């Protein structure tokens, strides 16, 4: 259990607004890198498609419902994205291990290559930013982002496998 909040962390509205502005600008930078990668891949897919492939790499075997929760998309929209990815040969669906009605999705070899090509662009952006922030900045940034992500986070194993 954590102790009381440090009184120095009481931020004023203008300080919080400056943080929101920086997050919006950082998000725009990340999505610009994704957009460039999507254009280079030439498959006619959008940001949600890449985001789904990224999450499938990090959390293999998740189903539509969990993917919808993680992305804040409807189950119908998430299902459509998976159908698009399956149609391009990037994802394959399988019946769930415990419940045959629960369909899980996994990246194909081509899907993993698609995700890696675009993900590399984002890792480059993030690694430059982390180097700017220094060792203490990396831990602080991760703590802040994890708190903002709320219940969507979990501790993935290195390489994207499940614990």
Q: What is the pLDDT of residue 100?
A: 53
| Arithmetic mean of pLDDT, 51-71 | 93
CA-to-CA distance for 102 and 162, rounded, in angstroms? Answer: 19
CB proximity list for 125: less than 8 A, separation 6 or greater? 29, 30, 33
Q: How far apart are CA 133 and CA 22, in angstroms?
A: 14
pTM given for the model: 0.79
Q: Which of 138, 97, 91 is nearest to 115 (CA)?
A: 91
Q: How large a percentage of the chain has pLDDT more than 70?
A: 86
Instruction: Check pLDDT > 70 for residue 87.
Output: yes
Q: Tens of pLDDT along 106-142? A: 999 999 999 999 999 999 999 999 999 888 889 888 8
């Amino acid at each position: 259990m954590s102790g009381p909040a440090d009184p120095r962390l009481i931020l004023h509205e203008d300080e919080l607004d400056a943080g929101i502005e920086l997050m919006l600008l950082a998000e725009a930078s990340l999505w610009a890198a994704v957009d460039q990668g999507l254009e280079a891949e030439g498959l006619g897919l959008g940001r949600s498609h890449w985001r789904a492939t990224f999450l499938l790499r990090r959390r293999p075997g998740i189903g539509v419902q969990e993917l919808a929760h993680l992305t804040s998309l409807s189950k119908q929209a998430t299902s459509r994205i998976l159908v698009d990815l399956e149609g391009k040969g990037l994802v394959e669906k399988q019946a769930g291990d415990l419940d045959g009605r629960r369909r899980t999705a996994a990246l194909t070899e081509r899907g993993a290559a698609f995700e890696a090509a675009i993900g590399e662009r984002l890792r480059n952006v993030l690694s430059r930013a982390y180097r700017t922030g220094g060792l203490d900045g990396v831990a602080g940034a991760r703590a802040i982002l994890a708190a903002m992500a709320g219940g969507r986070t979990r501790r993935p194993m290195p390489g994207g496998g499940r614990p």
